Amino acid sequence: MEEYTPKHSESTEKRNNKLVYYIIMAVCLLVMVGALVYLIFPGIFESGNKPTDEFKNSSISVTDDETELPANPIDFKTLQSKYPDACAWIQVEGIEQIDYPIFMSQPEADDNLYLDHNRDGEEDRYGEIYIQKLNYKDFSDPNTLIYGHNMGNGDMFGKLYDGNGKQFDNKEFFDQHRKFYIYTPGHILEYEIISAFVYDNRHILNSFNFEIEQEREEFFNQCIDPTSMTKQVLEGATLDTDDKIVTLSTCTGDDATRYLVVGKLVKDTETAK
């Protein structure tokens, strides 16, 4: 008697092939939808407050008190109506990621509120770029400290130092990024970057009284002649005791140190507010 063989193998194979086909099509569809969403809303998959053009001015000049002044690159009226703690804005030449508002917490709030809170008041490990109340909002101090997290994806001050000799600790990178700008209501402040180096973790504004010339000179000397093995210094750089500097401060991955990028004020342009 001839052995009976069930005739279902072919139909089972077809069903399996269809199942694989549907799975592949579903995956492709999800990838396409994801790509489309990313193109339309590129920040949806990322954390942190990204640089934004929402508060940028497009005007070339405006009239202020019957005097034509250049327009400020930042629309502070709109910015501060939404975020009252925003007191300034920073851009670093050639580093598009560093293009952020600068915050200072209210008098009654924690000085380091923006270390772990975002501009909407929510807890956020990214925090914001901020200054403390030991400094003036108009950057008129001999030394203004600006703090920002060193995020691994390059956000905040993540483009200042990576510990691998590829950012400001690299001479070529240092030579190619010579300036940063601070915008305040009514002013464009231009700074020449004179040094970048690893420093200890002391609180600089509490460690030096910058109103005292001798202490101011002591810190300034450290900026143009750092003792750190990890340093870049602009050749021929000088600092007089009446100069004004801004120090960008971020972490290094070592709790005992900080990375500082120091800029010397070289130009103050009055703008319309």
Render 104-154 in DSSP notation, one character per residue.
Answer: ---TTS-TTGGGSB-TTS-B-TT--EE--TTS-TT--SSEEEEE--B-TTS
Q: Are 167 and 160 in contact (CB under 8 A)?
A: yes
Note whether residue 40 is domain-resident.
no
Looking up tokens 């939404």 gives 82
Average pLDDT on 220-233 reads: 97
pLDDT band at residue 205 under the 50/70/90 scheme: very high
Note whether residue 260 is domain-resident.
yes
3-state secondary structure of 190: strand
Q: How many other CB atoms sit within 10 Å of the CB of residue 64?
A: 14
3-state secondary structure of 172: helix
| Domain, as residue range, for 194 | 61-270
Note whether residue 90 is domain-resident.
yes
**Residue 227 phi, psi (nearest 5):** -85, -10
Q: Are 124 and 116 in contact (CB under 8 A)?
A: yes
Note whether residue 74 is domain-resident.
yes
Note whether residue 76 is domain-resident.
yes
Q: Could you tell me how many residues make up the chain?
A: 273
* Residues 39-94: tens digit of each pLDDT: 333 333 344 566 567 788 764 444 445 568 999 999 999 999 999 999 999 999 99
- The mean pLDDT value of the chain amounts to 85
CATH number, domain of 192, equals 2.40.260.10
Note whether residue 134 is domain-resident.
yes
Whole-prediction pTM value?
Answer: 0.80
Domain count, the chain: 1
Note whether residue 115 is domain-resident.
yes
Note whether residue 212 is domain-resident.
yes
Q: Measure the CA–CA gap between 194 and 261, rounded to whole angstroms.
A: 8
* Residues 107-137: tens digit of each pLDDT: 999 999 999 999 999 999 999 999 999 999 9
